[in-house]
A = this chain, B = another copy of it.
Amino acid sequence: MALAKVYVNYKQSILNPEAEAVHKALKRLGYGDIEDVKLGKYFELTIADGKSKAEMDKEINQVCDKLLANYNMENYHYELVETEAAQ
């Protein structure tokens, strides 16, 4: 069993109004020392046994390109963690 932790964020050049709204709300609440807010999506994919690390890497990249991230606007990165039991 392996767990892929996938992080999808907007590219630097893309305006993220939700992150802006959170940042402004934090300022209004008095947290002026929080200088920047980024907001993205976080996926945890549980992958069945039986694939090599290289096969899983390939699969995760395919899945991100096809479905999880919009490559025009978003970047992704991931960590692959071996787990003993299902999470």
Within 8 A of B (CB), among A19-77: 22, 25-26, 29, 31, 33-48, 50-51, 59, 62-63, 66-68
Contact check: which of B34, B39, B45 meets A36 at CB < 8 Å? B45
Contact check: which of B35, B39, B63 meets A46 at CB < 8 Å? B35
Taken together, the copies of this chain in the complex come to 2
For A9, list chain B residues within 8 Å (CB).
Answer: 42
Quote the shortest CB–CB distance from A50 to chain B (angstroms). 7
Complex CA–CA separation, A37 to B44 (angstroms): 6
Asked if B41 and A34 make an inter-chain contact with CB atoms under 8 angstroms apart, the answer reads no
For A87, list chain B residues within 8 Å (CB).
Answer: 36
Asked if B26 and A67 make an inter-chain contact with CB atoms under 8 angstroms apart, the answer reads yes
